[in-house]
């Protein structure tokens, strides 16, 4: 399948054909793998260096199969096949030549240019020989030519000739073949996922397919050789097919849809760029767009779910150290870290949500940061038991349970009996939906972990009088929320007052005032009407009263958060002082000081910053790089509900889906 000789006139009539192997030209004794002398866009044997000629003849002699060979040498061989079929018109060799091109396509098809020329060769070969046109499917090929590829024109022309509407793959072929379309890295690296997303969105927009009117222009096929040596016309029945290559109307909308899909896949693509082996894992599935995530989780999450489930044993809720949970979910944490950074905690929460588990504490629902020294409470719940932490009933229930836990720890520990009583109290809290009830129970488990040392009691006793009185008032408000106080609740309030150093006899007067309307001046309770919903509480709570209780318990919850917070670990190295928050950046990024605001602004300006540059800027601003990342992401969590800076060993970048929101913050006057 090669031309060998001293002379083979070029089809253009000028000089010798590029593909001719001239045995009179010198060939080196050994090939030089790194010698690319005289390799240009249109290689020719006569122009190769002796070492490259040796590489070429070695490749030919070894069966033309080395996937590492320089693609220019593959094209040099391909030139001869083109000449044989389309210029010399050796139609009898069509099957032989097409089989060889198809074989080469399987080895070197990852090269966009060769794939395009090879597919055009196979299509034109079928037209020349009168055979069926090869099936064409969408692929991650960038079309660098100025027209719609021949296989796509024939495929779509046949569809229009049959009178059928275009389906998702037809539309994808069309938009990918358009010279104006550019398939970016996410589209090429994640083409399987992009194709699936395109099909789903296309079906939503065009449930009956895309109807296209037949263009008047018919298909005219001219084969232009990759060698740029000749162009020949190929007549045949295909000339009766509509030529869609001259239409443009639907393409802008299809192109916008494809571009949006690639944007949705950017985070997933970046992960695969760093860790190609992550495809098919839970980590990768979590980064897929929602329409693909469910199916991916069904596969990748099955094993992870079993592992997490095993941590619970026979229970649906259990306390455990954070490390086994992180390991079960494939989440890495820097060795020696004392607590989970915001970005790592966010991964933990979202992966558990997807697998049908939740954890306390969860900062999305008012919990504190997770430390490696304290246990967390894992539980099984659909969607991770997502709740609104500020809903009055849930907010009140949490504050009441914190007060109850404080009282239960009055003797320095929470006994098993006291813990079971706390759980019973949590399970009977009124007006809670199922996710709230589950998360409240986990919250109580967490409270037991926090009060075992008795430190909460000592902290409560050290509070100023007005703070202790506020806790007592909140406890009374919680007890009276249902309009009555049981004997057990009265005993609890008396014990709490003694714990806080307040006169226990004041409990009865406070309860009397509350019951008579003086303590909170509530409106009269409205009894439920006959025939009302069976699942509702028997007491109709006064809205104004609940608002006052909520306001008071909000203040108490703030106090209790300081009581129940673990003691900070001793600092072994003093951090440099941060600049005072008096500059422009502190005003622009409200909640950040000037140094961290300046650092965030620097990253936002370029979207992605090399880690070395980030560290240098942090040093200039006198802040630690790792601590700065955490501080900025803590701020973002409060502002956007998730971290804004993503980092690896090489760079720090603004999360793609939050760039527009951050830009709005930066540009706000």
Each residue's pLDDT tens digit, 25-39? 999 998 875 565 555
pLDDT of residue 413: 64
Question: For domain 584-667, is the CATH number 1.10.10?
Answer: yes
pLDDT over 70 (residue 441): yes
For the chain, give the mean pLDDT: 81
Q: Percent of the chain, pLDDT > 90?
A: 34
pLDDT over 80 (residue 405): no
pLDDT over 70 (residue 258): yes
pLDDT over 60 (residue 538): no
pLDDT band at 576 (very low <50, low <70, confident <90, very high): very low
Q: Which of 282, 272, 295, 64 is nearest to 187 (CA)?
A: 272
Residues linked to residue 223 through DSSP beta bridges, in sequence order:
232
pLDDT in tens, 59-94: 999 999 999 998 999 999 999 999 999 999 999 999
Q: Percent of the chain, pLDDT > 70?
A: 81
Q: What is the pTM of this model?
A: 0.56
Taking the domains of the chain in order of start, what are their residue ranges? 1-134, 143-264, 300-384, 392-523+541-564, 584-667
Q: Which of 644, 628, 646 is nearest to 636 (CA)?
A: 644
Cα angle 440, 525, 519 (rounded to 5 degrees) comes to: 80
pLDDT of residue 537: 36
pLDDT in tens, 487-528: 766 777 787 788 778 888 888 887 777 655 443 333 333 323
pLDDT over 80 (residue 156): yes
Q: Tokens 């299809």 correspond to what residue?
A: 254
State which H helix or E strand residue 323 sits in: helix 322-328
pLDDT of residue 407: 66
pLDDT of residue 56: 94
Determine the average pLDDT of the residues in 125-150.
83
The backbone region for 536, taken as left when phi is positive above 0, alpha when psi lies in -120 to 50, beta otherwise, is beta
pLDDT of residue 172: 95
pLDDT over 60 (residue 367): yes
The count of other CB atoms within 10 Å of the CB of residue 199 is 16
pLDDT band at 539 (very low <50, low <70, confident <90, very high): very low
């Amino acid at each position: 399948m090669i031309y060998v000789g001293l002379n083979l006139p070029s089809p253009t009539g000028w000089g010798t054909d590029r593909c001719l192997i001239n045995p009179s030209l010198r060939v080196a004794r050994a090939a030089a793998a790194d010698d690319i002398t005289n390799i240009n866009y249109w290689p020719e044997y006569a122009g190769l260096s002796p070492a490259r000629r040796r590489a070429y003849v070695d490749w030919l002699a070894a069966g033309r199969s080395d996937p590492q060979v320089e693609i220019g040498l593959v094209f040099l061989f391909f030139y001869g096949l083109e000449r044989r079929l389309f210029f010399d018109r050796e139609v009898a060799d069509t099957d032989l030549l097409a089989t060889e091109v198809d074989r080469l396509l399987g080895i070197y098809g990852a090269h966009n240019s060769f794939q395009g020329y090879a597919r055009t060769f196979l299509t034109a070969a079928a037209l020349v020989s009168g055979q069926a046109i090869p099936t064409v499917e969408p692929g991650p090929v960038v079309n660098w030519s100025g027209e719609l590829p021949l296989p796509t024109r024939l495929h779509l022309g046949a569809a229009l000739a049959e009178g059928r509407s275009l389906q998702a793959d037809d539309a994808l072929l069309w938009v990918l073949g358009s010279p104006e379309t550019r398939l970016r890295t996410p589209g090429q690296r994640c083409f399987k996922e992009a194709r699936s997303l395109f099909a789903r969105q296309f079906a939503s927009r065009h449930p009956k397919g895309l109807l296209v009117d037949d263009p008047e222009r018919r298909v005219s096929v001219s084969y232009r050789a990759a060698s740029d040596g000749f162009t020949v016309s190929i007549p045949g029945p295909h000339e009766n097919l509509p030529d869609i290559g001259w239409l443009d109307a639907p393409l802008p909308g299809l192109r916008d849809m494809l571009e949006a899909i690639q944007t949705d896949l950017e985070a997933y693509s970046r992960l695969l760029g760093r860790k190609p082996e992550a495809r098919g894992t839970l980590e990768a599935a979590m980064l897929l767009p929602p329409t693909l995530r469910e199916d991916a989780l069904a596969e990748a999450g099955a094993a992870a779910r079993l592992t997490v489930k095993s941590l619970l044993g026979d229970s649906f809720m259990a306390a455990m150290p954070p490390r086994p949970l992180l390991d079960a979910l494939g989440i890495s944490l820097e060795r020696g870290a004392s607590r989970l950074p915001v970005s790592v905690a966010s991964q933990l929460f979202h992966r558990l949500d997807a697998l049908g588990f939740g954890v306390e504490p969860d900062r999305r629902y008012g919990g504190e940061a997770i430390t490696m020294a304290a246990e967390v409470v894992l539980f099984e719940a659909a969607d991770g038991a997502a709740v609104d932490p500020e809903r009055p009933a849930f907010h009140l229930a949490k504050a009441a349970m914190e007060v109850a836990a404080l009282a239960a720890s009055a003797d320095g520990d929470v006994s098993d009996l006291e813990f079971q009583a706390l759980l019973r109290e949590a399970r009977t809290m009124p007006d809670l939906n199922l996710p709230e009830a589950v998360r409240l129970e986990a919250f109580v488990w967490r409270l037991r972990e926090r009060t075992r040392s008795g430190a909460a009691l000592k902290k409560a006793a050290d509070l100023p009088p007005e703070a202790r009185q506020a806790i007592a008032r909140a406890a009374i408000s919680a007890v009276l929320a249902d309009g009555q106080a049981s004997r057990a609740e009265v005993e609890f309030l008396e014990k709490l007052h003694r714990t806080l150093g307040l006169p226990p006899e004041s409990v009865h007067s406070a309860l009397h005032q509350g019951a008579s309307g003086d303590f909170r001046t509530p409106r009269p309770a409205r009894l439920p009407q006959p025939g009302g919903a069976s699942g509702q509480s028997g007491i109709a709570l006064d809205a104004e009263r609940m608002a006052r209780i909520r306001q008071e318990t909000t203040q108490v919850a703030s106090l209790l958060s300081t009581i129940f917070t673990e003691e900070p670990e001793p600092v072994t190295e003093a951090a440099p002082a941060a600049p005072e928050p008096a500059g422009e950046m502190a005003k622009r990024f409200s909640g950040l000081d000037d140094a961290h605001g300046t650092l965030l602004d620097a990253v936002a300006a370029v979207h992605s910053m090399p880690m070395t540059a980030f560290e240098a800027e942090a040093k200039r601003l006198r802040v630690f790089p790792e601590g700065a990342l955490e501080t900025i992401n803590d701020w973002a969590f409060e502002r956007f509900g998730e971290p804004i800076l993503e980092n690896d060993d090489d760079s720090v970048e603004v999360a793609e889906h939050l760039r527009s929101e951050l830009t709005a913050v930066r540009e706000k006057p």
